[in-house]
Amino acid sequence: MSTGTAEVRDEVVEVCDGRISLHVKVAGEGPPVVFFHPLPGLEWQPLLDRLAEQHTVYAPEHPGTTPGDPQAIREVHTMWELLLAYEEAFRALGLDRPSVVGMSFGGMVAADLASSFPQALSRLVLMSPIGLWRDDAPIRLVEMITGPPEELPRYLFKYPESEAARALMALPDDPDQVPTAIAQGAWNVGCTTKFAWPIADHGLARRLHRIAVPTLVLWGRDDALVPAVYAEEFARRIEGSHVEVVDDCGHAMQGDQPEQTFSLVTDFLR
């Protein structure tokens, strides 16, 4: 995998009684941080390089999103089974109460994991997570995914033309690789939306009170996908949590306000 600064290696752990070979990208040295990726799959990105400067980063690939193993998603039937798979993976990797960072879809996974297994982690960062629902603040997930591709950046970024945003949306330079990348990207979204379609509400609101670790809730004030009102919805259910709403920032915070976002995350985990 090409990276900015960190050397990234691939670890494979068998979970779900051997039915799934979970691929985990690992980089850096230091106290462990687990990163749960958003809907389109794992993209090794500058936030992870930054975390790897002071931590060992473990970034699992959601079942089915690992190239060459698309059918692994068939072995995860429910959200509950997904959480069990990750809890098993923590133990298989020898992770003793790591910090956990989750982004968007990965934020929902991280929050539900922390609610279901409160002893499995030590700190939690939720970056504009899905997982709750308010009728007066609908999350436009279906509209984004079924809408015209050219409108996608407007859901994700306040500044879709910024260098950071364009880098996050980039397709391969080699034209022959583009169809493969598009097909993989679409499949990845199929694998993640399996647990988010059409509304990503698995009753998380009724479990969040179980979270028992220091928690940082991050949001972009101008989030066009998951409105920033959800920051307070998470915070008021997680005792002692801290909220930061970043100005001039959309859903993909690492694209719109990279420096501020990186600092907030790394400072909290330090």
> Site residues (CB under 8 A) for other proteins?
64, 70, 73-74, 77, 142, 145-148, 178-180, 182-184, 186-191, 193-195, 197-198
- Smallest gap, in angstroms, from Cβ of residue 59 to other proteins? 21
Q: Percentage helix, strand, coil, to 5, in the chain?
A: 40, 15, 40
Q: Which of 266, 267, 207 is nearest to 48 (CA)?
A: 266
- Smallest gap, in angstroms, from Cβ of residue 251 to other proteins? 18
Nearer to other proteins, 179 or 203 (CB): 179
Nearer to other proteins, 31 or 185 (CB): 185
Nearer to other proteins, 68 or 94 (CB): 68
Give CA–CA dist 119/52, Å, rounded.
24
* Sign of CA pseudo-dihedral 108, 112, 113, 118: positive
Q: Is 150 helix (H, G, I), strand (E, B) or coil?
A: helix
Nearer to other proteins, 197 or 242 (CB): 197
Q: Which of 236, 53, 251 is nearest to 140 (CA)?
A: 251
Nearer to other proteins, 70 or 214 (CB): 70
E strands present in 121-169: 123-127
99-103 β-sheet, strand order: 8-15, 20-27, 56-60, 32-36, 99-103, 123-127, 215-220, 242-246
- Smallest gap, in angstroms, from Cβ of residue 217 to other proteins? 27
